[in-house]
Chain A
Amino acid sequence: SQTIHQWPATLVQPVGSPLSLECTVEGTSNPNLYWYRQAAGRGLQLLFYSVGIGQISSEVPQNLSASRPQDRQFILSSKKLLLSDSGFYLCAWSASVGYTFGSGTRLTVV
């Protein structure tokens, strides 16, 4: 069966510090991978998606970036966090229509 792992569950980081959130998927090959953010009152906002290794599409201009160094690994990064980067970050995978989400990372930038 397929599983998706996302960590850490919570993170408190100072403004200007770097960020690295990791997501891995098991039990499937060549999944589509996604990073979403849920900010207060904003619903689920698609940040990045990837249909293959090294292929990243960005939906929202911001100071975040994503990388897919391996087929089942998706990383969300920032060189310098802003206060506005606080939110609940979700990784998801799909092989067809419909996603399976990870458990999320609550990021608080202070």
Chain B
Amino acid sequence: DQQVKQNSPSLSVQEGRISILNCDYTNSMFDYFLWYKKYPAEGPTFLISISSIKDKNEDGRFTVFLNKSAKHLSLHIVPSQPGDSAVYFCAASANSGAGSYQLTFGKGTKLSVIP
């Protein structure tokens, strides 16, 4: 049972255009959502996050939108740059009460920005 789903394994976008990466979740207890970026042979790095009390969070070229009723979030990158080419993981967290702050990850979307 996959609680965080990234249904697009890959996405190609022209440089300068907008990249939209989507993520759906099923667990209504998730209250915090994060996006991680991963280059080959490296560990993922934190990109941007959003709390369930918000519907939008912006950081430079990156904006995350959250639609709680649809259990859907998206990451917008605009304008896209070749250096954005990486695998993007959506992650969600629920307060487990055990102090572990576990994240549940999607399978990732490989973004390729074409110069």
Give me the interface of A with B, judged by CB distance under 8 Å. 6, 9, 32, 34, 36, 41-44, 46, 49, 51, 57, 88, 90, 92, 94, 96-104, 106
Contacts and interface: CB of A to CB of B under 8 A. Distances in A.
Interface of B: 6, 32, 34, 36, 41-46, 49, 89, 93, 98-108
Contacts, number: 60
A34 B100 CA distance: 9
A49 B44 contact: no
Contacts of A90: 43-44
Contacts of B49: 97-98
B67 to A, nearest CB: 20
B105 A44 contact: yes
A32 B101 contact: yes
Contact of A97 (B32, B41, B105, B108): B32
A6 B44 CA distance: 13
Q: Is the interface of A mostly helix, strand, loop or mixed?
A: strand
Contact of A51 (B46, B99, B106): B99
Given A43-B107, A90-B43, A96 B101 contact: yes
Contact of A100 (B42, B46, B89, B101): B46
A103 B42 contact: yes
B100 A32 contact: yes
B102 A41 contact: no
Contact of B46 (A9, A88, A98, A102): A98
B43 A102 contact: yes
B98 A46 contact: no
A46 B43 contact: no
A97 B89 contact: no
A97 B93 contact: yes
Contacts of B99: 32, 51
